[in-house]
Amino acid sequence: MENNIFIRKLALNDKPQLDDLIKKIESSLPHHDWWLPIPQEAYDHFFDESWTLFCGAFDKEKLIGASALFFNEFEYGKTVSYLHLPAQKIAEIGRCMVLPDYRGKQLMFQMNEFLLNINPRKIDSFVATAHPDNISSIKSLEKSGFIKQATFVKFDMKRNIYLKKA
């Protein structure tokens, strides 16, 4: 990683930068169906530690990327229902985003390694989804050890489901 780029947990005072980053990502998507619209209920819990853990990549003070671990069934329930996993500690990695100018520097990979290593709840199984054509997302997940399990349709959009055991 370049010298001035670092990754840390996001806190409530990072919310304005996260909102701005999300707007930039949503307005520059290569394909709109690579990014599921954020439900209000999920958005309202982005800084609720019992539900979400967001990390961010910074270039000095500027937020240039983010990724999250979701611990709540509202987030991972539908994905997990396709996998028929036995009851265990599960979290979904999602909302991976990197500003266009910073892509291809493995920031998604580095942020997800950060989240997987913190593993604050001793999660057994991590799930993730990606559109089958979202090559950078898929490559990065596979590099982190995620293995494709199935393809399904979520909110009318195709998604590969990935699983990684802790």
Ligand X SMILES: CC(C)(COP(=O)(O)OP(=O)(O)OC[C@H]1O[C@@H](n2cnc3c(N)ncnc32)[C@H](O)[C@@H]1OP(=O)(O)O)[C@@H](O)C(=O)NCCC(=O)NCCS
Task: State the residues that interact with ligand X by CB under 6 A.
Answer: 25, 29, 34-35, 96-98, 103-109, 130, 134-137, 139-140, 143
Burial zone of 30 (CB within 10 Å; 0-12 exposed, 13-18 middle, 19+ buried)? exposed
157 phi and psi, to 5 degrees? -125, 135
CB of 105 to ligand X, least distance (A): 6
CB of 126 to ligand X, least distance (A): 14
Q: Which is nearer to ligand X, 15 or 103 (CB)?
A: 103
Q: What is the C-alpha separation between 76 and 94, in angstroms, rounded?
A: 10
Q: Which is nearer to ligand X, 3 or 50 (CB)?
A: 3
CB of 121 to ligand X, least distance (A): 22
CB of 134 to ligand X, least distance (A): 5
Q: Which is nearer to ligand X, 1 or 88 (CB)?
A: 1
Closest CA to 150 of 78, 56, 43, 98: 78
19: number of CA atoms within 13 Å, CB side?
Answer: 9
